Amino acid sequence: MDNMDMASSSSNVFDYSATADAVEENNEASYSLSRNLENESIRIKLQELEQEILNLQTQRHAQQTELDSIENMALKQRFQAIIDDLREQELVKKREYDELKKTF
Domain with 27 in it: what CATH number?
1.20.58
Residue 11 domain flag: no
Q: What is the pLDDT of residue 74?
A: 97
Q: What is the pLDDT of residue 41?
A: 96
pTM for the full predicted model: 0.70
Q: What is the pLDDT of residue 21?
A: 78
Residue 70 domain flag: yes
Confidence of residue 40 (pLDDT cuts 50, 70, 90): very high
The span from the CA of 56 to the CA of 82, in Å, is 11
The span from the CA of 61 to the CA of 79, in Å, is 11
Number of domains in the chain: 1
The span from the CA of 42 to the CA of 103, in Å, is 8
Residue 73 domain flag: yes
Residue 83 domain flag: yes
Instruction: Reply yes or no on whether the pLDDT at 18 is more than 80.
Output: no
Q: What is the pLDDT of residue 49?
A: 99
Residue 98 domain flag: yes
Residue 90 domain flag: yes
Range of the domain at 27: 21-103
